[in-house]
C-alpha cells in the first residue's frame, strides 16, 4: 500500500481511485468525457473529481486522434469515489439536452 508519508518531497498527492468514461451529447455533438475520482490521503475531503474532454485536433494533415484537455465541471466531493462521481455526472447531465 502506498504510504504518503514515505514521500515527504510531495506537497500534495492524489490517488486516482476510479475513472469513468462517458459519451454525452454536448453542444450538438457526442463528446467523450473522462471523470476521475481522486483521493487525497492528506486532505479533509475524502474524494473529489477532475474532468477531461476529448478534443479533436486538426492540422494540415487532417483530423488527428486528438487529446484530453481539462473540462470545466463544477468541483465535486464525496465520502466515496462513487458519490463524488455521481455528483459530477449530475452536473454533466445539466449540460446535455433532455430526452
pLDDT of residue 62: 67
pLDDT of residue 90: 94
The pLDDT of residue 2 is above 80:
no
C-alpha cell at 3: 504510504
Of 84, 85, 55, which is closest to residue 70 (Cα–Cα)? 55
C-alpha cell at 97: 439536452
pLDDT tens, 32-91? 999 999 998 877 888 999 999 999 877 777 667 788 999 999 989 999 999 999 999 999
Pure H helices in 1-99: 81-94
pLDDT of residue 76: 92
pLDDT of residue 49: 96
Amino acid at each position: 500500500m502506498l504510504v504518503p508519508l514515505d514521500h515527504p518531497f510531495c506537497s500534495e498527492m492524489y490517488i486516482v481511485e476510479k475513472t469513468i468514461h462517458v459519451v454525452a451529447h454536448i453542444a450538438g455533438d457526442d463528446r467523450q468525457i473522462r471523470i476521475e475520482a481522486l483521493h487525497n490521503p492528506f486532505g479533509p475531503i475524502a474524494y473529489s473529481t477532475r474532468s477531461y474532454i476529448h478534443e479533436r485536433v486538426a492540422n494540415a494533415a487532417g483530423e488527428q486522434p486528438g487529446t484530453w484537455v481539462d473540462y470545466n465541471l463544477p468541483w465535486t466531493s464525496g465520502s466515496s469515489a462513487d458519490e463524488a462521481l455521481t455528483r459530477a455526472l449530475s452536473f454533466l447531465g445539466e449540460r446535455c439536452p433532455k430526452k
